[in-house]
Chains A and B, each alone.
Chain A
Amino acid sequence: MWLAVESVKSWRHLLPEAVDRVHHFAQRHASWFVLVLLFLAGPRTLGAQSVDLLIQGGHVIDPANQIDQVMDVAISDGKIARVGENLSGLSSDRVVDATGLYVTPGLIDLHVHSFWGTDYERTSDGINALAPDGFTFRAGVTTVVDVGGSGWIDFLTFKDRVIDRSKTRVLSFLQIVKYGQKGTPYVQSTGNMDPEMAAERAQQFPEHIVGFKLAHYSGHDWEPVERVTRAGELAGLPVMIDFGGATPPLPLETLFMEKLRPGDIYTHAFGGQHDADLTGSGRQAIVDEEFQLRPFIADAVERGIVFDVGHGAGSFFYKQAIPAMEQGFRPTTISTDLYGSSMNTGMMNMTNVMSKFLDLGMTLQEVIEASTWKTAQVLSRRELGNLTEGAEADVTILRLEEGTFGFVDSAGLRKNSDQKLTAELTIRAGEVVWDLNGLAADPYVRN
């Protein structure tokens, strides 16, 4: 398997060493921390054996902890209290029977556009971005990453309007353009791309800002890529590239092997045009005009470049994805590129996009990992995307439905399938925020 996300680590040395060491210590000794906390909590926790919520009998897929079997999950005080084969010794007022269902960490969508507003002309702060909560929980998502909605100047508005008001955890890749994803002509001006100020803002809000985004630049010019990676280096964070377009196309090989650093993200992995070299314009796809995976892609994966789906309204084509997957390529992370123009197209939502990759040959475990733990690693937010005891209780219960389904790509073409994932129940920080069929509800009893 050539998906070495571990190489993400290679830029983590840029973090201040002390922070890294504390982080490392906490990781290695997490279970001791929990034990000590339990001890300090005293007899109430240990003796009463009562938890806030108990999920029983579900098939737990938790790649971070190599769990892939039927287990129970106990939640208390908004945290994962226990994960074990049989927790029937614990009592709870709220018991969810997850028999026949899959229990996973809350899904992380690495590519959304959440900086909604009322400006008609703009993507960010505008009507084409979406307030997250109406689209996340019903698709099992508990964390989204707004990629490039705001720049260093309007990040504070974004934080006030969206991050601080959403139940969904909203992280940010800061747009390298200082005004955010304001649309052309703003995104076309390298003069608006200030790596130093972007890095300053990122260091001011490390709990929210987890990377930098470059998007939609058209021009045969590496300057924007260099500026965004410069910001990434200054702040010790990854960058995500939406590679825009150029005449003639800029070579993907140069981007992956020379310009990006290991751990940087190439989104819209199944977008671009397979015939861009023939037409002499646009963006190269990862497959060439013969639908052969370009030879350097394996090297790029080996090098640690992260390939993100970023489906969207115009960035996922079966004619590229099917041959690429047949030739062994796998996306590192699965994401939606959710915004107004994509929400009602073949993209639909996170579980729909995940189902597509299940249909294209990834195992359910791989699909879950690419939407939880791998994404958390790419973000260097290893406290997310797992069900480790003590972690914040973001949990999703999925049903794998059997039947006749159709999935549609960005060209409006369909592929039939016999399986589809649906979110039955979503828990955010211990609170049930979506319950499709009332799994966690008490029955109505007629008086």
Chain B
Amino acid sequence: MVTGLLSRLVMGALLIAGLAATPQDVAAQDYDMVIKNGHVIDAKNGINGVRDIAINDGQIARVASNIPESSAGQVVDATGHYVTPGLIDIHSHNYYGTEPYRSYSNGFSALPPDGFTFRAGVTTVVDVGGAGWRNFRHFKDQVIDRADTRVLAFINISGEGMSGIHEQNLNDFDPKMTGLTARRFDEIVGVKIAHYSGHDWEPYRRAVEAAEMADIPVMVDFGGAEPALSLRTLFFDVFRPGDIYTHAYGGGGSRRQAVVDDNGILRDGMLEAQERGIIFDIGHGGGSFFYPVAVPAMEQGLWPDVISTDIHVGSMNDGMKDMLNVVSKIHNMGMSLPDVIEASTWKPAQVIQREDLGHLSEGAVADLAIFSYHTGDFGYLDSNELLMPGTSKLQTELTVREGRIVYDLNGLAAPLWNE
């Protein structure tokens, strides 16, 4: 009886509320969020100008010149800022764990992603080689399935992943098991080989064989050999177009060739390799980005195809710092802002054959970042801690992952406390 009365009262209240609602209020249900007046850089869609972006149900609903504020539940004013697809870091190490002597494979050298991604505008990371076919499922359970960051993976050709001496165990480089595992999991977007020492092409050929089984690219960290193996052979005889040479501005010394020789002259075939479709990836890390290599190489026309961090415990606090610092560094070295954004969004999405990512097309997952662009006196360090001054720097203002705000540096989306 009382319940019946209550429910009638509630129904009545709802009816009155419904009658009082104006058409605008009804329209307010159109979008969850609108980001207003930001300068949008979306390479895939050829956008480089001020647009509004509407987000609904975790997807990009609309990109247009003027989307009414009244149509959205939440409005973010991005005036004076850049709005880009969420950055994709194609070289990361996230298979963290507590096992001694396992380094990047359930060990102490890798990092749980979320504390390092969103604050740098990154929404997708690719763990390159942390897990091999034998421990990939453990990696998926421990990291991939529990992170808010989208975590994809290059599976290591070594069955035990990037776990120290196992990376030298050619007997455990099984292309068939690696390829089969890669086929089974959507998160696996490539095959990695790293740190192999030995004057021997066999491990690289096995990585390519596994990748062919799963129709995915290979990423090579060229390890060390005595004498050094030829970059030219790697690029023209081992690699297929679309395969990735990471640590592109690293190397040098007797065990690994740099892309330039001792006089800073670009080696024969480097530009032709890029022309052939070989992907040059930064993979900055703690020891793989040197100004004496990068500056002359870029001057002679070898620009990176993709920008990435190689973030791990040993690189997070040095010259690398985070994705946005690396992006800002490359921008200061002469690559235009639209080009560095493309090299950290749409280009890596294409390289890992995930063309659903890295752009702001209507219907795409709403992963995006808002950056402020600061001018002033900044400094950028290479892996030898050498300083290059810079005049600009990007800062993450706000990051959205699947429609949800996951980082908001200055409270762009937050209401004032006393209103």
Instruction: Give the interface of A toward B (CB within 8 A).
Output: 116-118, 120, 127, 130-131, 133-135, 137-138, 161, 165, 318-319, 322, 340, 343-344, 346, 348, 404-409, 411-416, 433-439, 441-444, 446-447
Given A133-B317, A343-B115, A346-B411: A444 touches B417 (CB 8 Å cut-off): no
Q: List 5 A-B contacts (CB under 8 A).
A: A120-B146, A134-B116, A344-B114, A344-B119, A447-B264
* B264, B317, B319, B389 — most chain A CB neighbours (10 Å): B317
Chain A residues lying within 8 Å of B385, measured Cβ to Cβ, are 435, 438, 441-442
Per-position 1/0 for B380-419, Cβ under 8 A of A:
1110011111000000000000000011111110111110
Given A414-B417, A441-B386: A134 touches B115 (CB 8 Å cut-off): yes
Chain B residues lying within 8 Å of A117, measured Cβ to Cβ, are 98
Chain B residues lying within 8 Å of A415, measured Cβ to Cβ, are 416-417
The answer to the question of B111 belonging to the interface, with a C-beta cut-off of 8 Å to chain A, is yes
Question: How would you classify the secondary structure of chain A's contact residues: helix, strand, loop or mixed?
Answer: mixed
Nearest CB of chain B from residue A416's CB, rounded to whole Å: 8
The answer to the question of B379 belonging to the interface, with a C-beta cut-off of 8 Å to chain A, is yes
Q: Tell which of A137, A346, A412 touches B317, judged by Cβ atoms closer than 8 Å.
A: A137
Chain A residues lying within 8 Å of B313, measured Cβ to Cβ, are 131, 133-134
Q: Tell which of B321, B387, B412 touches A444, judged by Cβ atoms closer than 8 Å.
A: B387
Given A134-B316, A134-B317, A406-B412: A161 touches B115 (CB 8 Å cut-off): no
Report the nearest A residue to B322, measured CB to CB. A138
Given A127-B146, A134-B316, A439-B379: A406 touches B115 (CB 8 Å cut-off): no
Chain A residues lying within 8 Å of B412, measured Cβ to Cβ, are 406
| Range, interface on chain B | 35 or more
Q: Tell which of B111, B377, B406, B408 touches A408, judged by Cβ atoms closer than 8 Å.
A: B408
Given A137-B317, A318-B417, A433-B317: A344 touches B118 (CB 8 Å cut-off): yes
Chain A residues lying within 8 Å of B201, measured Cβ to Cβ, are none
Report the nearest A residue to B115, measured CB to CB. A343
Report the nearest A residue to B408, measured CB to CB. A408
Chain B residues lying within 8 Å of A135, measured Cβ to Cβ, are 115
Interface residues of B in 109-138 (CB under 8 A from A): 111-112, 114-116, 118-119
Q: Tell which of B295, B406, B411 touches A446, judged by Cβ atoms closer than 8 Å.
A: B295
Per-position 1/0 for B349-389, Cβ under 8 A of A:
00000000000000000000000000001111110011111
The answer to the question of B97 belonging to the interface, with a C-beta cut-off of 8 Å to chain A, is yes
Chain B residues lying within 8 Å of A137, measured Cβ to Cβ, are 317
Nearest CB of chain B from residue A139's CB, rounded to whole Å: 11
* A318, A340, A412 — most chain B CB neighbours (10 Å): A412
Instruction: Check if A414 sits within 8 Å of B411, measured CB to CB.
Output: yes
Instruction: Check if A118 sits within 8 Å of B98, measured CB to CB.
Output: yes
Report the nearest B residue to A138, measured CB to CB. B317
A318 to B411, CA, bound (A): 14
Chain B residues lying within 8 Å of A438, measured Cβ to Cβ, are 319, 379-381, 385, 387
A348 to B411, CA, bound (A): 11
Report the nearest B residue to A434, measured CB to CB. B317
Nearest CB of chain B from residue A342's CB, rounded to whole Å: 11
A340 to B148, CA, bound (A): 11
A399 to B378, CA, bound (A): 13
Given A346-B411, A408-B414, A443-B387: A118 touches B142 (CB 8 Å cut-off): yes
A443 to B385, CA, bound (A): 9
Instruction: Check if A408 sits within 8 Å of B411, measured CB to CB.
Output: yes
A346 to B401, CA, bound (A): 17
A443 to B384, CA, bound (A): 11
Chain B residues lying within 8 Å of A130, measured Cβ to Cβ, are 112, 115
Instruction: Check if B411 sits within 8 Å of A407, measured CB to CB.
Output: yes
Nearest CB of chain A from residue B290's CB, rounded to whole Å: 9
Report the nearest B residue to A318, measured CB to CB. B417
The answer to the question of B108 belonging to the interface, with a C-beta cut-off of 8 Å to chain A, is yes
Per-position 1/0 for B279-317, Cβ under 8 A of A:
000000000000110010000000000000000010011
Q: Tell which of B108, B142, B386, B415 touches A443, judged by Cβ atoms closer than 8 Å.
A: B386
Instruction: Check if B387 sits within 8 Å of A322, measured CB to CB.
Output: no
Nearest CB of chain B from residue A441's CB, rounded to whole Å: 4
A447 to B292, CA, bound (A): 8
Chain A residues lying within 8 Å of B382, measured Cβ to Cβ, are 444
Q: Tell which of A118, A318, A348, A406 touches B97, judged by Cβ atoms closer than 8 Å.
A: A118
Chain A residues lying within 8 Å of B295, measured Cβ to Cβ, are 444, 446
* A348, A441, A443 — most chain B CB neighbours (10 Å): A441
Instruction: Check if A444 sits within 8 Å of B386, measured CB to CB.
Output: yes
Instruction: Check if A322 sits within 8 Å of B142, measured CB to CB.
Output: no
Report the nearest A residue to B145, measured CB to CB. A120
Chain A residues lying within 8 Å of B417, measured Cβ to Cβ, are 318-319, 322, 409, 411, 413-415
Chain A residues lying within 8 Å of B108, measured Cβ to Cβ, are 165
Chain A residues lying within 8 Å of B316, measured Cβ to Cβ, are 133-134
Report the nearest B residue to A119, measured CB to CB. B98
Q: Tell which of B319, B321, B388, B411 touches A406, judged by Cβ atoms closer than 8 Å.
A: B411
Nearest CB of chain B from residue A358's CB, rounded to whole Å: 15
Chain A residues lying within 8 Å of B388, measured Cβ to Cβ, are 443-444
Instruction: Check if A406 sits within 8 Å of B387, measured CB to CB.
Output: no
Given A406-B411, A414-B416, A415-B417: A444 touches B291 (CB 8 Å cut-off): yes
Extra contacts, 6 of them, besides A131-B313, A346-B408, A408-B411 (Cβ < 8 A), are A130-B115, A406-B414, A407-B411, A435-B385, A437-B379, A444-B386
A408 to B411, CA, bound (A): 6
Q: Tell which of A134, A348, A412, A442 touches B111, judged by Cβ atoms closer than 8 Å.
A: A134
Instruction: Check if B114 sits within 8 Å of A414, measured CB to CB.
Output: no
Report the nearest B residue to A413, measured CB to CB. B417
Chain B residues lying within 8 Å of A346, measured Cβ to Cβ, are 408, 411, 414
Report the nearest B residue to A417, measured CB to CB. B410
A346 to B409, CA, bound (A): 8
Chain B residues lying within 8 Å of A414, measured Cβ to Cβ, are 410-411, 414-417
A430 to B135, CA, bound (A): 40
Instruction: Check if B407 sits within 8 Å of A413, measured CB to CB.
Output: no
Report the nearest A residue to B386, measured CB to CB. A444
A413 to B415, CA, bound (A): 5
A161 to B100, CA, bound (A): 9
Nearest CB of chain B from residue A134's CB, rounded to whole Å: 5
Nearest CB of chain B from residue A380's CB, rounded to whole Å: 30
A447 to B264, CA, bound (A): 9
Chain A residues lying within 8 Å of B416, measured Cβ to Cβ, are 413-416
A322 to B412, CA, bound (A): 21
A400 to B315, CA, bound (A): 26
